Structure 1
């Protein structure tokens, strides 16, 4: 578990997202956001956008949000606006397991990317 400065956390999330096939980054709602083929969002950075916490929001498989929030509410949360769709919030202002975050980002991508792109990860 490692706590990083906000700029370091952003750079690490950026590196993880842009390493995936056909991803791009642009601002959305004032925050760095990553898209598959420039269209579908799979991760959104949240630098104090809706509260005083540093985090990111991402797509998550059914049931994962509830399980992780129940297990570790100090590390995970239900984000506003997209939480009702099962998206997961991941706090970055606490010590983080960056291997786990890499898995979470990759799984978000798999859920949003077209099957052919997701298959390139296997």
Structure 2
């Protein structure tokens, strides 16, 4: 089970990532937004695997009509993933957002 502190720790361990509020929620930026708390216990990240993730684990990965226009965004219920999976998601989001490996 992951939580916001896990997100913060992983994001800030990536080179050049900063944290600042976005829509009154904690958010992390590489060159652009890479992750943001959507609501308590739910994280928004960028991925190239949105359909596959939601197809295999719809209770964990989902999106709202608000996210329809952004096919790289997926919502993640943090309580349903472990730290390793979270780290993989955030590393992919970091690269998509313009971070440097």
User: Considering the TM-score relative to the shorter chain, is it more than 0.5?
Assistant: yes
In 2, Cα distance between equivalents of 1:14 and 1:83: 26
Q: How far is the alpha carbon of 1:72 from its aligned partner?
A: 0.4
Match of 1:109 in 2: 94
In the superposition, the TM-score normalised over structure 1's length comes to 0.73
In 1, Cα distance between equivalents of 2:33 and 2:92: 13
- Counterparts of 1:28-107 in structure 2, within 5 Å, are 28-37=22-31, 40-48=32-40, 54-61=41-48, 64-86=49-71, 87-92=73-78, 94-107=79-92
Runs of 4+ aligned structure 1 residues displaced above 6 Å come to none
Deviations 1:71-118 (A, max 9, x none): 1011111145334322111101x33221011000000000111xxx52
| Cα 1:23/1:12, change in 2 over 3 Å | same
**Residue segments in structure 2 that go unaligned for 5+ positions in a row:** none
In the superposition, the TM-score normalised over structure 2's length comes to 0.87
RMSD in angstroms over aligned alpha carbons? 1.7
> Which structure has the bigger radius of gyration?
1
**Residue segments in structure 1 that go unaligned for 5+ positions in a row:** 49-53
Compare relative contact order (CA 8 Å, sep 6+) and give the higher one, 1 or 2: 2
Number of aligned residue pairs: 100
SS in 1 for 2:10: helix
For the Cα contact (< 8 Å) 1:46–1:56, is it kept in 2? yes
